[in-house]
A and B are shown apart, each in its own frame.
Chain A
Amino acid sequence: MRLLLVEDDIQLNQQLLTQLTKSGYAVDVAFDGEEGLYLGKEIDFDIAIIDLGLPKMDGSTLIKQLRNPDISNKQYPILILTARDRWQDKVEGLDAGADDYLVKPFHVEELKARLNALLRRSSGHSTPEIQFMDFKLNSSTKEIYVKEKLIELTAYEFKLIEYLVMHAGKVISKSVLIEHIYDQDFDRDSNVMEVFIRRIRNKLDPDKTINPIRTHRGSGYSFNLKPIKA
């Protein structure tokens, strides 16, 4: 999942970058509101973390600009970080278009849980456990079960299948998949994606019975199973 992190404190920014990258997010960072707006407008992120107290442009204004249909019209979920405890700041941020808030200081685990919940919600799922017939994905534990059997996946493999599951039914191009899974410096012309897909297919469906990933020639891939519960 591609994540935008806008936090002006260098140490906290780096700390979050490290932690979120470790958790499998492709993170782009910005240190002020203007930089955040530029990135937020240019890249189609899956989620954003925005601090309210930012230099150059405050967090609330940045969120408004990102949500404004005339400026960028971005609909990805936004989590606000705030050190200000007053409800006026929280409500202002949420009213501007954010989806959740987290007050500093916070546990990284709590932040990750909130991000997961927001991603789940944005894809229309209310619980961490998403089930498609014999296929089950838990976004909290980062585990996938097929026919009740735990499937061993690498972090990148999980990220890829998770992205497809979160956008189930939609055709996702190879370039979009690369953009949302890897960092910016990844070589987009490589055929790693085809290798990945093949490997995931073999792991998820060794008997070729459920066919979870469908290839759309020249367009991309889609998650092919029907959900049991949202």
Chain B
Amino acid sequence: MSLFYRNLIANSFILILFLSASGVFIHHIYQKDTEDFLSKQLKDNLYALLASAKENEQGNIKMPRQLPNPELNRPGSQILASVIMKKAKEQSPYRWFSLSYKNQSSLINKQKQNLFYDDKNTAGDYIFNNHPENFKQLSLNISWENYQQIEQQYTFRILISRNDIDNKLDNFEQKLKFWLGTTGVILYVIQLLLLYWGLYPLKQASLEIEKIQTGEITELDTNYPKEISLLTININKLINYSNGQLKRYRNSLGDLSHSLKTPLAVIQGYLDNNNSTHSSNEQREIQEQINNINNKIQYHLQRASIASDKPLLVKTNIFPLIQKTLNALNKVYFDKDIQVKYEQTQKNVYCHLDEADALELIGNLLDNAFKYALSSVQISIQAESDNSTHLIINLCNDTDTVKEIPVKQILERGKRLDEHTEGQGIGLYLVADIVRSYQGELDISNEDKQVCIKVKLPGNIYL
């Protein structure tokens, strides 16, 4: 799973968790505040009720007909009040209900205990509870000492309907959900943008690595955030080190080849200039040794410099290499007047081949084709795809010099295609080595005076 989706899922999870927790928390605080406000309302009304209580001549509490809070005087109101005296011996207890109870007798029927003094509570305790008919109720037991200094117990009750606060809570919940949802969507979009912005340097680095592979650039940009700049700097170092090492290695091999072959050229010159001083046997022997040394140097040094399929190899567009080699060979074999037929099915084919190896492969193949061709060379390049993509190079030339030579022998080290044609005879063997090191296939056919070589390089073809 990509880093983008990993981050997106993790951040979305945190966002949902945060918004849900925030919603629950905010709702809880608002609900508590509302409940506190309702409780305060109940207390205020209870105090007003207590302040309104008078004493009659018998020393009992007597509530006035009209209370200061007009809601308590209005029948059917959402605020109700009652005062209930504790029953004492044969005395009928005092029961008072506010005018707002009028037409709401069902409220009393639903909770019959409200008709009586609340024995369970201690005097002075504020008892809040919920009434079944969606009222919140506050009860307070008081001990009233009348002017005869006789204590009498009363339960003062205030009920306020929860309908208003429930509606308020519902409204708040709806608005809270809406705004949290909207905030969630906005935060999600912002998070997407931030993620894109945050991961952009990684994406940029990845695109640059692709460009390095196509050869558009040679190293990564150094202007990256410090968190990944260390990585990009090290990738650059690794690329430079890898390329530099291969280049140094090849240069050293080239220098070695130069150091060994120049004295050989001197010996060869000496032999050519002094052929009269040596017997023909001696001359043949020396020549043979020169050829052996030369072949060994050429074969071993060239073989050692094959890069093979290394992971840091860049993609190489082989068409310019073919064109470059054709231009070179047209100069070299100018006098043969070879007709070249060149077909390419795609505009560009990039393959995961080291450029020097690709040039070595193409150079040796084309050089052989030009060398042995009578009049024409045909080249076709195609990229095919079945289970995986692969590059196919088909090379044919007309000839009359190669006759019934088994393929195995042609690919054998040191085997020359024609003893009368100049050449070291190891070019095709090197081609076979390169093809083998890239896990490719090489096929040679020789029919109707036409030699065809087919090279198949598997995988990593980019069109």
Q: Among A88, A94, A99, find the residue whose CB has the most chain B CB atoms closer than 10 A.
A: A88
With CB as the reference atom, state the residue of chain B lying closest to A85: B298
With CB as the reference atom, state the residue of chain B lying closest to A98: B331
Q: Are A86 and B250 in contact, with the CB atoms below 8 A? A: yes
B425 at the interface (CB under 8 A from A): no
Q: Are B422 and A110 in contact, with the CB atoms below 8 A? A: yes
Query: Chain A nearest CB: distance from B335 CB in Å?
Result: 6
- Interface positions, chain B 251-280, Cβ under 8 Å from A, are 254-255, 257-270, 272-273
Binds B, one of A8-16, A144-152, A169-177, A196-204: A8-16
B364 at the interface (CB under 8 A from A): yes
Q: Are B335 and A126 in contact, with the CB atoms below 8 A? A: yes
With CB as the reference atom, state the residue of chain B lying closest to A13: B266
B359 at the interface (CB under 8 A from A): yes
Binds B, one of A42-50, A101-109, A187-195: A101-109
**Cβ contacts B324-342/A at 8 Å (1 or 0 each):** 1101100110110100000
With CB as the reference atom, state the residue of chain B lying closest to A121: B334
Residues of A within 8 A of B302 (CB): 85-86
Which of A12, A105, A127 interacts with B290 by CB under 8 Å?
Answer: A105
Bound Cα distance from A171 to B294, whole angstroms = 46
Known A89-B254, A95-B328: A106·B265 in contact at CB below 8 Å = yes
Known A11-B266, A99-B331, A104-B264: A83·B359 in contact at CB below 8 Å = no
**Cβ contacts B358-378/A at 8 Å (1 or 0 each):** 011011100100000000000
Residues of B within 8 A of A108 (CB): 269, 272-273
How would you classify the secondary structure of chain B's contact residues: helix, strand, loop or mixed? Answer: helix
For the complex, count residues of B whose C-beta is within 8 A of A: 44
With CB as the reference atom, state the residue of chain A lying closest to B426: A85
Q: Among B259, B269, B294, B332, find the residue whose CB has the most chain A CB atoms closer than 10 A.
A: B269
Query: Chain B nearest CB: distance from A43 CB in Å?
Result: 24
Query: Chain A nearest CB: distance from B365 CB in Å?
Result: 10
Q: Are B262 and A104 in contact, with the CB atoms below 8 A? A: yes
Q: Are A53 and B267 in contact, with the CB atoms below 8 A? A: no
B301 at the interface (CB under 8 A from A): yes
With CB as the reference atom, state the residue of chain A lying closest to B325: A91
Q: Are A107 and B331 in contact, with the CB atoms below 8 A? A: no
Residues of A within 8 A of B422 (CB): 110
Query: Chain B nearest CB: distance from A67 CB in Å?
Result: 13
Bound Cα distance from A95 to B363, whole angstroms = 13
Which of B250, B324, B334, B337 interacts with A91 by CB under 8 Å?
Answer: B324
Bound Cα distance from A86 to B250, whole angstroms = 9
- Interface positions, chain A 76-91, Cβ under 8 Å from B, are 81, 83-91
- Interface positions, chain B 275-319, Cβ under 8 Å from A, are 290, 294, 298, 301-302, 305
B8 at the interface (CB under 8 A from A): no
Query: Chain B nearest CB: distance from A165 CB in Å?
Result: 18
B202 at the interface (CB under 8 A from A): no
A143 at the interface (CB under 8 A from B): no
Residues of B within 8 A of A84 (CB): 254, 257-258
Residues of A within 8 A of B301 (CB): 85
Query: Chain B nearest CB: distance from A64 CB in Å?
Result: 15
Residues of B within 8 A of A87 (CB): 325, 359-360, 362-364, 367
**A to B CB contacts below 8 Å, 19 in the list:** A9-B262, A9-B266, A12-B262, A15-B270, A53-B254, A83-B258, A84-B258, A86-B360, A87-B359, A87-B360, A87-B364, A88-B360, A91-B328, A95-B327, A99-B334, A104-B262, A106-B265, A108-B273, A127-B335
Which residue numbers of A lie inside 8 Å of B, CB to CB?
9, 11-12, 15-16, 18-19, 53, 81, 83-91, 94-95, 98-101, 103-110, 117, 121, 126-127
